[in-house]
Structure 1
Amino acid sequence: MLAEERFALILDLLAEKRTATVQELCEALNASESTIRRDLTELDRQGRLNKVHGGATLPNGQFLADEPTMAAKESLAVSQKQSIAEAAAALINAEDFVYVDAGTSTLAMVRALNGPALEAHYVTNGIAHARLLAQKSCHVCLPGGLLRPRTEAIIGAAAVTALQQFNFTKAFMGANGVAMEAGFTTPDPEEAAVKAAAIRRARQIWFLTDDSKFGRIYPAVISALGDAAILTNRCPDPKYGQLTLVKETER
């Protein structure tokens, strides 16, 4: 296989997955590790990808505006979200007053709640999250506002005002994109406003983001990278750890 053919296949795989390890690329291209590493070095030199420890990721700054439905997002990165969810649930104590943001990663966290975490008190703007918390006999509060059908999240001025009445010990947030220069972002400005309001009222903030979300930028800014910690299955670029706390579940 010619080098340019390998380059095209590598970039196609990254376009689909956002990140890939050297081992994944070796298996996909049926090529040796030394060949793949040389290809990654050359593509990095050309600015077509970022070579990171153990693999590669697309360059930061890919601007997106799409918003998959809740059902569509639940079928993506399932195992990654599960490992993040279990780690997040383990951070919650019985005495915590917790904000749970709408989203599939945070919904996976609610599914994983057990033991003392079930005794904590919760506020969430996610309809599915509130239902599941109630089924687990947790104390749960829903803010008022408008329901956004695509993400099943409560948004709007009433929701922002309601959140200003609380002080959270911990907030577990979702984002569509995480980028060093743009921070945490999402497609919808009203949803971003609710997320930002919750962050301002929380003492400890965790964004639950699988590795496919790194390097993506969406129109609405939630917060700067340094305003919150990141809980992820795998961080594709160690530079993120220089800007905020990053906790990985795949170590």
Structure 2
Amino acid sequence: MLDPPKHADSRKPERLPASLRQARILHAFEESTFVTIGELARIFNVSAMTIRRDLDALDRQGLLERTRGGALPPVRDAQMNEPAFDMRRQESAGQKVTIAKAGAALVGEGMSLGIDVGTTTLALAEKLGSRRDIRVITSSLRAATYLAGRDTPVYTLAGQVRTPELSITGPQAVDSVKSHFLDIAFIGVAALDEYGFYDYSPEDSEVKRAFMANAAKVVALCDSSKFERRAFSRVSPLSQVNVLITDAMPPSAIADALARAKVEICVA
């Protein structure tokens, strides 16, 4: 962690100019991936409010990312805009099919499933096609259409259709999920790092969280191209997921964070 600033009188720590203090705050990220407001206030002998102003100023400059209670290193590989669905479906297509197959293997007879929107969750729906011994509730019109065409019992949420993703969103969608118990919720994500799971859409993220809150088990489907990335909306911390199904072992920082969060990693 950052050493306290040097000063002549050890009894009265020197008050640094804001610009120098902010430079030293940035230096702290060379030794730590998370810095708290309380820690910085103690080191620089200033109030928590002063540190909050410093962090807000650095955040506005894109030099770090403010969080509740502190800050994170600046995002180096964040994708804010949602690529087209068909384009995303072609990316890592083989890995997504492999992940979907592993997810389908978790589904037992008589289970009620929540299937989120996304390209990997659509691949999962395709692996479950023609199964009549399960019930599926989904926020994806693509998944619903596929399953209904193969006589799998499937239910869609009430709510507004978000185009071109063809997902169902809004307060009614969230309420629809709350009225069901799910044995497993399968969640698609756009990005994953040691701080959580991410998606492009805040609207879809709300529905994802509803699925997660109403399921006995939460399974995230995420191919390795999404590791060490962030997207616009943080869906949840790692601890809200029980199982991560992926195609390769995550980098050590993510793997360690998943282990601390007690998330089972399944490499398909």
Is 1:242–2:242 an aligned residue pair? no
Spell out the pairing of 1:1-251 with structure 2 (5 A cutoff): 62-113=77-128, 117-181=131-195, 183-228=196-241, 229-239=243-253, 240=255, 241-243=258-260, 244-249=263-268
Q: In structure 1, list runs of 5 or more residues that go unmatched.
A: 1-58
Q: CA deviation at 1:63?
A: 2.1
CA deviations 1:181-201 (Å, max 9, x no partner) are 2x0111211111010011000
| Distance of 2:238 and 2:98 partners within structure 1 | 22
| Distance of 1:171 and 1:129 partners within structure 2 | 14
Q: CA deviation at 1:114?
A: 5.8
Larger Rg: 2
TM-score (norm 2): 0.67
CA deviations 1:127-177 (Å, max 9, x no partner) are 010011111211111011111113111111110111110110001110101
Give the number of equivalent residue pairs.
Answer: 189
| Distance of 2:96 and 2:78 partners within structure 1 | 23
| Distance of 1:164 and 1:222 partners within structure 2 | 17
Q: In structure 2, list runs of 5 or more residues that go unmatched.
A: 1-73
> 2:139, 2:167 within 8 Å by CA — same for their partners in 1?
yes
> 2:129, 2:147 within 8 Å by CA — same for their partners in 1?
no
RMSD of equivalent CA atoms: 1.7
| Distance of 2:93 and 2:115 partners within structure 1 | 19
| Distance of 1:232 and 1:145 partners within structure 2 | 30
Q: CA deviation at 1:235?
A: 2.3
Partner of 1:154, secondary structure, is strand
> 1:169, 1:202 within 8 Å by CA — same for their partners in 2?
yes
Q: CA deviation at 1:112?
A: 1.2
Which of the pair has the greater relative contact order for Cα pairs under 8 Å at 6+ separation? 1
Question: One-letter code of the match for 1:164?
Answer: K
TM-score (norm 1): 0.72
> 2:244, 2:266 within 8 Å by CA — same for their partners in 1?
yes
